Structure 1
Amino acid sequence: MASFQISNSETQIPAQLLIARITQLHSSISKLDSLRPSKQVNALFSQLVKLCILPCDIDIMDLSKEAQVMRESLMNLCGRAEGFLELEFATLLVSVPQPLNNLNLFPYYGNYVLLANLEHKILLDNGLVHPHKVAFVGSGPMPLTSMIMATHHMKSTNFDNFDIDEKANDVARKIVASDAKLAKRMKFETHDVMKLRERLGEYDCIFLAALVGMKKEEKRKILGHIGKYMKEGSVLLVRSAKGTRAFLYPVVEEHDLLGFELLTIFHPNNEVVNSVVLVRKPTF
């Protein structure tokens, strides 16, 4: 397989070279027998992530049709691989004493800490200081954002975590069950967000994970549904991506957020992959 060593001295990568390298990586990943964690799988996705956080003057909307198809396929492969990685480490954590003290075993734990710190600061800057109740949609088997927020930033907030996968919720529940106090504030429920209605009106803040709604139209429907049922004055934090990072995660743009008041959009330039979009449901 091709090697993609990126030197630290590289500060800018030409768009054509970036697309060529990502296309080669996509080809290698597509040929894998399994996306479950292994030496080869981990190496390929590690190379991909490093490549996709390099500075590059690229607009995803200007990609050729062929590159757009490749990007969509790559995002789906990344999503599946991420699910397998989270499930493997979550299952491992359940088997060790005090799993919440060993979250840093997860390879991307540091990125989640940086992202949670960033999101908490954005929420504070926009007036959400002590939310009573928060929902996280698409929490997965290893709900690091909820756990970091609950233990470091929002120490009295109640968290309801929603995921469509009962197996993911079951493992996440076991991790949190190791801390009786945290377990009282953190619930895990198996639901499709599109089936949740009045329930969405209970929250001061709703987080929407990047991988909930992979296609543009699906994402817009989910955003519209949440906006319809969340309470007036509450905020929705949506994870997005920009530039090279958009090969890993879907992009949410301002025109996808009809009916919301846009509060802020933040695009990171460090190892954090996701952009953060914060909107509020207007009070009429």
Structure 2
Amino acid sequence: MASALVTRIHEIYDSIVKLESLKPSEHVNTLLTHLVKLCIPPSNIIIEDLSQEIQDMRMNLIVLSGHAEGLLELEFATFLSKTPHPLKNLDLFPYYGNYVKLAGLEYKILSEHGMVQPKKVAFVGSGPLPLTSIVMATHHMKSTHFDNFDIDEAANYVARQIIASDDEFEKRMKFVTRDIMDVTEELGEYDCIFLAALVGICKEEKIKIVGHIRKYMKGGGLLLVRSATAARAFLYPVVKELDLPGFELLSIFHPTDEVINSVVLARKPIFHD
């Protein structure tokens, strides 16, 4: 069963590699939709047990599908930014419902661990369409200030245009173009830091970023990291307890519906080295 699934994923990968562009088109969208549908059902795939060749293919696939996802978001965010009421038309984005569900799930997990109305939150890797921050700010964290970090100024520019359509949101949301590895003392200002799934694609890079955040964030602060499990790990990197040294693991939740990302929540101990 697992080997047949890996073969089918490899076939899609071979088609994606041959594409001249990953920009949204009927062909690109069809391939990626097919890939996602293959990866969502429960499976007994254990990534670590796969051959090195398949693991290398998986890393390339994460990069390629992540790039395609970014281009889709940018195109859509640019279109939205030119409409009279961008925030009222977010549901036109094909995966909007998934973000609403994921944000609801993440908020439930955060509130179970005492994080109900944080004063200030950081989202690392927010992209051109910062849906998690928007959904959180609208439905869950209604008084929280959000700082969205992304290394791509073009993404932040479009995100700012969308938020500028709402005075209240504009006061509560900031977009910062910086590599999170260059942000130091400021990380101590946040009650909770979200780390997007595609920030730090290989394990070493992810561990380095998590370590940097831990060094500067406040004691008692929460880190929410998006991960993946089983075949969903062909779409996003996997984060395990061992990848969070110096943190107290609070929760790992693996959704079984169309929400693809797993949610890993950890706390920086108040007393630390």
The two structures have a TM-score, normalised by structure 1, of 0.95
Structure 2 counterpart of 1:42, one-letter code: N
* 1:55 to 2:38 alignment: no
CA distance in 2, matches of 1:150, 1:130: 10
Q: Secondary structure at the match of 1:83?
A: helix
Correspondent of 1:112 among 75, 80, 99: 99
Alignment of 1:146-185 (within 5 A): 146-185=133-172
Partner of 1:254: 241
Structure 1 counterpart of 2:59, one-letter code: E
Alignment of 1:118-157 (within 5 A): 118-157=105-144
Q: Secondary structure at the match of 2:89?
A: helix
CA distance in 2, matches of 1:55, 1:216: 23
CA distance in 2, matches of 1:102, 1:124: 28
Give the superposition deviation at 1:24. Answer: 0.1
Correspondent of 1:237 among 224, 245, 251: 224
Partner of 1:81: 68
The two structures have a TM-score, normalised by structure 2, of 0.99
CA distance in 2, matches of 1:153, 1:59: 35
Instruction: Report % sequence identity.
Output: 67
CA distance in 2, matches of 1:95, 1:192: 28
Give the superposition deviation at 1:69. Answer: 1.0
CA distance in 1, matches of 2:86, 2:269: 40
Q: Secondary structure at the match of 2:255?
A: coil
Correspondent of 2:192 among 180, 197, 205: 205
Give the superposition deviation at 1:54. Answer: 1.3
Partner of 1:27: 14
Unpaired runs of 5+ residues, structure 1, are: 1-13
Unpaired runs of 5+ residues, structure 2, are: none
RMSD over aligned CA atoms reads 0.5
* 1:265 to 2:256 alignment: no
Partner of 1:225: 212
Correspondent of 2:174 among 170, 187, 206: 187
Give the superposition deviation at 1:112. Answer: 0.4
Give the superposition deviation at 1:97. Answer: 1.1
CA distance in 2, matches of 1:202, 1:190: 17
Structure 1 counterpart of 2:64, one-letter code: L
After superposition, the C-alpha distances for 1:194-252 in whole angstroms (9 at most, x for unaligned) are 00000000000000000000011000000000000000001000000000100000000
Give the superposition deviation at 1:79. Answer: 1.0
Give the superposition deviation at 1:94. Answer: 0.7
Give the superposition deviation at 1:78. Answer: 0.8
After superposition, the C-alpha distances for 1:169-194 in whole angstroms (9 at most, x for unaligned) are 00000000000011100000101000
CA distance in 1, matches of 2:111, 2:42: 28
